[in-house]
């Protein structure tokens, strides 16, 4: 982090101000990338395997490589036959160590691909749904014996598929149970969801963090939506468990990144306002109970 002031607010509202930057502590893995490529995603597979994606590439990196020449394990070019050129961007990388499924989605392709996480050129299957915007949050998880993919899509130009959709994958990576769409609070026309920051699964809870634009004010606010997944042999999602609540950090309201720390059962979230940033910790119980 650099520039601006960073404030850390704990749940009991003690705030700390950090100054300085992280520069100088870095261990360089890959010194320079072609900046035209754009970086859109990063997934840490294990201690030493990191997968990075962007325009026309998906690259796996060995973070413990002893010299820079051995850092890149594989670098796969994407989109050649799909986009008539090099306009493709890998917009989503969905991975969970639990399902061992690694899914990549491209902005110009109507399917997502299941790849072998340790051999990213090996396509195991293509699954019949698409994720075409980077502002989409997705996750894959196992519930009982089934794997589910969740996709939270913001408003798109065509407006038709904004909302939360989930797919149950069968053993052949087909979509067994069709998508079920949940719309986010759309009655407030002055607030539009522009971006989903993160999808997280905790126990039976499915949480989706998003950023909204308040049109009249030109400001951003943030929300977290929650839905419960009922476990059991016919796992379902109860519409009556859907809750969507505002998220803020002191008087900071524009959520940028969020992570779940499973050991402490806390969410840590960073918000910005101009060049200032604030970081807040949330107890999962606080989010559940609201």
Ligand X SMILES: *[C@@H]1O[C@H](CO)[C@@H](O)[C@H](O)[C@H]1NC(C)=O
Residue 114 sits in the site that holds ligand X (CB under 6 A): no
Q: Select 57 or 271, whichever has its Cβ closest to ligand X.
A: 57
Contact 54, 68 (CB under 8 A): no
Residue 263 sits in the site that holds ligand X (CB under 6 A): no
**Selected range binding ligand X among 115-123, 220-228, 257-265, 269-277, rule: CB under 6 A:** 115-123
- Can you spell out the DSSP letters for 12-73? T--EEEE-S--TT----SSS---TTS-EEEEEE-SSSEEEEEEBTEEEEEETT-SSGGG-EE
From candidates 73, 124, 125, 175, binder to ligand X by CB under 6 A: 73
From candidates 122, 126, 156, 178, binder to ligand X by CB under 6 A: 122
By DSSP bridging, strand 6-9 and strand 276-283 are parallel
Contact 115, 123 (CB under 8 A): yes
State the Cα–Cα distance between residues 212 and 195, nearest whole angstrom.
7
From candidates 5, 17, 21, 48, binder to ligand X by CB under 6 A: 48
Contact 220, 230 (CB under 8 A): no
**Selected range binding ligand X among 41-49, 165-173, 208-216, 255-263, rule: CB under 6 A:** 41-49
Residue 65 sits in the site that holds ligand X (CB under 6 A): yes
Nearest 10 degrees: Cα torsion 74, 58, 87, 149: 150
Residue 28 sits in the site that holds ligand X (CB under 6 A): no
Least distance CB 55 / ligand X (angstroms): 8
Residue 32 sits in the site that holds ligand X (CB under 6 A): no
- In sequence order, what are the beta bridge partners of 259? 268
Nearest partner of 119 among 47, 58, 192, judged by Cα? 58
From candidates 7, 43, 53, 59, binder to ligand X by CB under 6 A: 59
The footprint of ligand X on this chain (CB under 6 A) covers a number of residues equal to: 25
Binding mask 230-249 for ligand X (x = CB under 6 A): --------------------
Residues in the site for ligand X, rule: CB under 6 A? 30, 34, 37, 46-49, 56-57, 59, 62, 64-67, 69, 72-73, 75, 77, 80-81, 119, 121-122
């Amino acid at each position: 982090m650099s520039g601006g002031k960073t404030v850390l607010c704990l749940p009991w509202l003690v705030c700390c101000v950090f100054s300085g930057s992280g520069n100088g502590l870095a261990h360089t893995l890959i010194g320079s990338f072609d900046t035209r490529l754009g970086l859109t995603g990063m997934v840490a597979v294990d201690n030493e395997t990191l997968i990075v994606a962007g325009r026309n590439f998906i690259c796996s990196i060995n973070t413990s490589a002893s010299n820079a020449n051995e850092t890149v394990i594989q670098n796969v070019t994407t989109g050649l036959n799909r986009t008539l050129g090099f306009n493709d961007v890998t917009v989503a990388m969905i991975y969970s160590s639990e399902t061992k499924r690694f899914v990549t989605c491209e902005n110009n392709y109507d399917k997502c691909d299941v790849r072998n996480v340790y051999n990213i050129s090996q396509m195991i299957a293509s699954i019949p749904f698409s994720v075409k915007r980077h502002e989409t949050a997705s996750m894959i998880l196992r519930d009982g014996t089934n794997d589910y993919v969740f996709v939270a899509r913001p408003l798109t130009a065509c407006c038709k598929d904004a909302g939360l959709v989930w797919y149950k994958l069968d053993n052949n990576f087909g979509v067994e149970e069709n998508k079920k769409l949940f719309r986010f609070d759309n009655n407030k026309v002055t607030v539009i969801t522009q971006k989903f920051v993160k999808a997280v699964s905790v126990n039976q809870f499915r949480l989706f963090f998003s950023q909204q634009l308040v049109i009249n004010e030109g400001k951003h606010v943030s929300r977290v939506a929650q839905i419960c997944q009922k476990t059991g042999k016919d796992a379902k999602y109860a519409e009556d468990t859907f809750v969507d609540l505002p998220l803020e950090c002191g008087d900071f309201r524009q959520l940028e990144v969020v992570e779940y720390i499973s050991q402490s059962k806390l969410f840590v979230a960073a918000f910005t306002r101009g060049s200032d940033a604030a970081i807040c910790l949330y107890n999962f119980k606080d989010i559940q109970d609201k």
